[in-house]
Structure 1
Amino acid sequence: MTEHHDTSPVDPVNVSSDPEDVQKVRDLMESMDIAMLTTTDSSAPHERLTSRPLSTQVAEDDGDVLFLIRRSSAVARDVAANPHVNVAYSSMKAWVSLAGTATIVEDRALVEQLWSKGADAFMEGGPENPDNVILKVSGDTATYWGGDSLVGLAVKTAKAVTGRDKDEDDDSGATVVELP
């Protein structure tokens, strides 16, 4: 799915489908454990967006991500009602916003493979519990910014804020990556 992304001179965005950018998105997501998953809460009187922290189990080569969740959770109910989601990652050096579609995967072997001590702390019954399932987010696009050293990020931020040293080849803005 290809989407049009509006840009303005104050918010420069580069659009790419380069495999190196797809890999950079994956690497950035792999480097940040906790993500904020945003779903549409259809149980509210007026649909509203709701974000929840989840620990990424796998960031796949094509930009898809896997999370362990409970089938009986509000997240699973929201996804069943509206599968369009956003997954946001942030660190001191970079941020990634992954837009895509979520599905529930009921694969006991995969749940067992992804199970960890961290999952034990937040989910009951271990990987054998049929309520413990996989949430797979298939990314359409990912927008990222940063990923360089903290010094490089500080320089880019200062340039972006002040508008100094801007030239036509400057790629200091966010990059939108069309995922395979």
Structure 2
Amino acid sequence: MSDGISRMGGLDGGRVAGALALSQRKEFEDEFAFALRGARITYEVEPLAEVVRTWWEAAGGDQDVVDADRFRSQRDATITRRPHHRSQQDPTRWVDRTGPAVYAALTPDDRSRFALDFDGAADRAERTFDHRHLLLVVHEWWTPACRNANPEQLAQDLELARRIEAGDLSMLAEDDGQP
């Protein structure tokens, strides 16, 4: 999991807490705790991320990092509302990459496992002020949520795998050696 966290960038509430003066740190911790309680109930991480962004700036952090993080979050939260330039035959139903949308698109069994993963990440965030573990849980469960939102594609993929395993390679394109 730490490798995924390192790819998410440096916007980390733990670093914020360490950079703040003692009087500011208490206020940050209180706001973080309040937003984390909401995230535990709704699976919505954005308000918690906004607390970290706001205090990142107060701690003297780079505004570009905040803007990039906010842009990424907005982009992920609006996947289903962005125009897609695909053919009309593409049946893909997208799922926004937010906690509530991912949770809603999962099967009941997967929802239970998502909730356990999210709770574990929330416990860690409570100790470290690093909300990125919650984001990583949402990102990791996004693919199963999209797969569940598109059962006909999963059925097609399973049928294709069955045919290949049976030796039927007729559906594969032939390589004629041309680039």
Q: Which has the larger radius of gyration?
A: 2
TM-score, normalising length: structure 1: 0.24
TM-score, normalising length: structure 2: 0.24
Structure with more helix by fraction = 2
